[in-house]
């Protein structure tokens, strides 16, 4: 199986081909998620030293920062899938956009929640109307709006177009979140890690943060593939290949008993 050929990706864009592929990849991403999460938590909560100013309270950063990163990246990827589905009318792209939205909303909520827990000992308050916090909250509402809009429209094609337009408009909020600490005078600290700057944290801290980020990526793939498989079964339930696949799975379970 060559992952780097155009023919492979064109073939994979078919729900019939993607369904068994996703089924094989789910256990792989599940194992990666578990291993990386355990390693990341060990580095972050055992090996990493206390911060010289915040003590041990800073350790929530190893969940907060990767969750915030993931909420932004998932929104961008979701938007790309939604636009591809709208322009080229590819069903699988629309399904992927819909499957990513709940996970993106979960990470946005996790970032806000852990940020509030971190903010209390640092700022003395669970919430302030800081530019980054407010724009992250808007991102959470955009995820909710995307999910609600898809659920409110019965016709899948109309729902795909409407949600793609909403995602396209809302994507402008992502750079606002990222650059908010540079554009405005905020309480939120600046980035310690960046593509164009050297990390300003101890190696074990950086390792913990990056490992947790990859763990969250693996988790995202895992749950997105699960949701897409369920939606494929729902949308393609009248197809012969779905009927054959379900029948085969039932037979395997009966024989297993």
Q: What pTM was estimated for this model as a whole?
A: 0.91
Q: Does residue 131 carry a pLDDT above 70? A: yes
pLDDT at 200: 61
pLDDT at 120: 87
pLDDT at 188: 62
pLDDT at 193: 62
Q: Check: CB of residue 30 under 8 Å from CB of residue 185.
A: no
Q: Which of 110, 165, 169 is nearest to 140 (CA)?
A: 110
Please state the domain extents for the chain.
20-256
Q: Check: CB of residue 190 under 8 Å from CB of residue 201.
A: no
Over range 136-147, report the average pLDDT. Answer: 98
Cα 248 to Cα 238: distance, rounded to the nearest angstrom: 16
Tally of CB atoms within 10 A around 20: 12
Q: At what angle do helices 156-170 and 131-152 cross, to 10 degrees?
A: 170
Q: Does residue 94 carry a pLDDT above 80? A: yes
pLDDT at 41: 96
pLDDT higher at 235 or 186: 235
Q: Check: CB of residue 101 under 8 Å from CB of residue 70.
A: no
CATH code linked to domain 20-256:
1.20.120
E strand or H helix that includes residue 172: none
35-44, 128-137, 180-189, 200-209: least confident range: 180-189
pLDDT at 25: 97
What would the pLDDT profile of 204-226 be if each residue is shown by its tens digit? 999 999 999 999 999 999 999 99
Instruction: Report residue 196's pLDDT band, with 50, 70 and 90 as the boundaries.
Output: low
Give percent of the chain with pLDDT exceeding 90: 63
């Amino acid at each position: 199986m060559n992952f780097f050929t155009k023919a492979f990706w064109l073939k994979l864009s078919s729900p019939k081909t993607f369904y068994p592929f996703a089924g094989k990849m789910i256990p792989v991403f599940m194992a990666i998620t578990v291993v990386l999460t355990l390693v990341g938590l060990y580095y972050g909560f055992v090996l990493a030293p206390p911060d010289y100013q915040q003590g041990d309270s800073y350790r929530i950063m190893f969940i907060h920062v990767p969750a915030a990163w993931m909420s932004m990246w998932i929104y961008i990827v979701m938007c790309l899938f939604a636009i591809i589905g709208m322009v080229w009318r590819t069903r699988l792209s629309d399904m992927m956009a819909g499957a990513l939205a709940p996970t993106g909303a979960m990470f946005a909520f996790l970032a806000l929640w852990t940020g509030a827990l971190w903010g209390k000992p640092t700022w003395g308050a669970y919430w302030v109307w800081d530019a980054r916090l407010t724009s992250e909250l808007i991102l959470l509402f955009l995820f909710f709006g995307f999910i609600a809009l898809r659920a409110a429209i019965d016709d899948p094609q109309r729902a795909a177009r409407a949600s793609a337009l909403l995602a396209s408009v809302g994507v402008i909020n992502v750079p606002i979140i990222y650059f908010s600490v540079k554009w405005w005078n905020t309480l939120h600290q600046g980035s310690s890690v960046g593509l164009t700057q050297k990390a300003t944290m101890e190696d074990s801290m950086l390792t913990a943060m990056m490992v947790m980020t990859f763990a969250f990526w693996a988790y995202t793939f895992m749950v997105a593939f699960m949701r897409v498989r369920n939606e494929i079964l729902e949308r393609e339930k009248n197809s012969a290949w779905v009927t054959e696949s379900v029948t085969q799975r039932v037979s395997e379970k009966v024989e297993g008993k």
